[in-house]
Amino acid sequence: MSSPENPTGAPTPSEPPPPAPPPSDKGFPKGLLIGLVSVLVGGAVAGAFVLGRRSAGPDGTDSPSSSTGSGPGGSGIPSAGAKVEGKPPSPGTKTLYVGSQGTPAVWVDVYAPAKVRQALVDNRWLQEQMKKPLGQGFASSWAAFFGSTGEDLGASFKGAVFDVVAGQLLDSPFRALWFVGPSDTNAPALIIPSPSSTTTAAYEAMEKVAERGDFKASNCPSGASPSVTAPQEGFRVSRWLVAEQSLYVGRTADRMVVARQPEMVLRGLCVELERLAAPKGVDLELGFNNQVLGREMVYVSQALGLENGTRLQFAAEGSKLVARGIAGPLTEKVRLDAAPLSDDLLKLVPSDMPVLIALQLKLPESLEGSKVKAYWAGEDPGQVRTRQVAFVWHPRGDADLEHEFAILWGRASDAPALQNMFNGGNTLAQGSFCNHQVLASNEEVLGRLQKACNGQSPNLLNAAGPVVSGLRAPGSVTVGVNMGPLLSGLLADGYWSDQQLGKGKPLPATGPDEIEEARRDLETLPYVGLRGTVQGDSLVPGGFGS
């Protein structure tokens, strides 16, 4: 089993790592960067639910971009029929206390909500899934809330609550922000800086019919930015209750915040927030704080020379979200080069491997311990050589299942040094294929890579033409996510985990018909690639996919 400090189960290198980072806050999942890269585009299913099926005007009338669906307002969610005979009395105001502000860890900036929303509305695959068990299962817990209509609630607006919250409240650019701290949560705060008149009108319409009590906080939590101060009357967080589901909303002069918990609303109201400025050609951006995502992320960032501010960029094109690439500033000690991925590497990676991360990494010519130590310390190690290093990963959707991964080292002659570096307590299976030294989590993974190299199973050279071309383009950091196998496998693992088969018991080959149908649908999802290439003091983005 892996330890909390070594979640992948990989052996700890015996050579000194980069300078020790500050201790990370407890509670945020380790390796979240890879996980978020993996699920961001797959989250289009969630996006249809979160961002809405269409826009509506403040008066509840349809916008020209509206579309027909099974529920009110074309939301794809059946009407809840949550009739309200007059608004019940408010339970009163409660005092809200949040001990710690927490630290912003990961955020998604949606610069063009209407454009992103329309791409999801027009995506035929996504809309078909919202009518099937896959989409219905995702939306089921909130179907009653968002499926309720203005007529059901006796509100001034027409159509679904879904359209009001998603199409109007999130009409302006917004940020979904996850915090890490003593009382962190997996749910984000949706922060809308400088809300538009449409957003404000939607807030007031919902407040009139759905408000069921509120919370008051006189101050920001400890650790909040001193540049953010409480209004004279304190912060107010309103509770919206529809069909036994609650949302919490707060606003100040410069922002509005929506969240699943009142604590997250207060954090969102108190966090320092810069203006959301979209890079050219980018509609959605994932950013993260390198320093709080665990020691592993700090090590990697320092080793590669990545400053805080690395971002994964996407754009809405037609009915799809497409990758634009990886961008961000670099430190003075950049240890990345730029080169295409070799055909030997592409031949070695199975075509159904869910995640690939490849680096063009500058390291000392000799991996002798003293030279590596001097290199990480910023001293002159002598001659430096660029090595192609890749990490392939098959994430599992059950905590009791070990992650399957392999390190692909592009210089097989480094094998003796690698054996010395990775000589910790967790033994790796090793082999040499396609001019790479391979260190795998187990023999089964090693065998899969060997078969791909030998042409006994499909590899990345057999991928779609645009994917192969994208992988062959010069880059410094390349991330490839095969969405179909990734999400199909996670779904199967999650289902069988929920059946509580017990640790160590073999998983059945197939599941119920609806699970297998959902897996087949997920397997049709595309390959998504993001690339960042060192140019001066920053990474220049590039994207590709099938």
Distance CA 499, CA 289 (A): 36
All residues at 6 or more sequence positions from 4 whose CB lies less than 8 Å from its CB, including other chains: 30
- Of the candidates 460, 461, 470, 465, the one whose C-alpha atom is nearest the C-alpha of residue 529 is 470
Tokens 């998603």 appear where?
166
Distance CA 200, CA 198 (A): 5
Q: Which residues make beta-bridge pairs with 251? A: 256
Distance CA 7, CA 15 (A): 19
- Please state at what angle helix 483-498 crosses helix 32-40, rounded to 10 degrees: 110
Distance CA 271, CA 269 (A): 6
Half-sphere exposure of 244 (CA within 13 A, CB side): 5
| Residue 256 near residue 192 (C-beta atoms within 8 A) | yes
Per-10-residue mean pLDDT of the chain, 546 residues long, equals: 41 41 38 38 36 35 36 44 54 86 90 89 85 72 73 78 78 90 76 91 88 93 88 93 88 92 93 89 91 76 82 92 92 88 96 94 85 78 88 84 88 86 79 94 94 96 95 95 91 78 67 86 92 92 91
Task: Give the strand pairing for 384-394 and 527-535.
Answer: unpaired
| Residue 544 near residue 466 (C-beta atoms within 8 A) | yes
In this prediction, residue 467 carries a pLDDT of 95
| Residue 456 near residue 321 (C-beta atoms within 8 A) | no
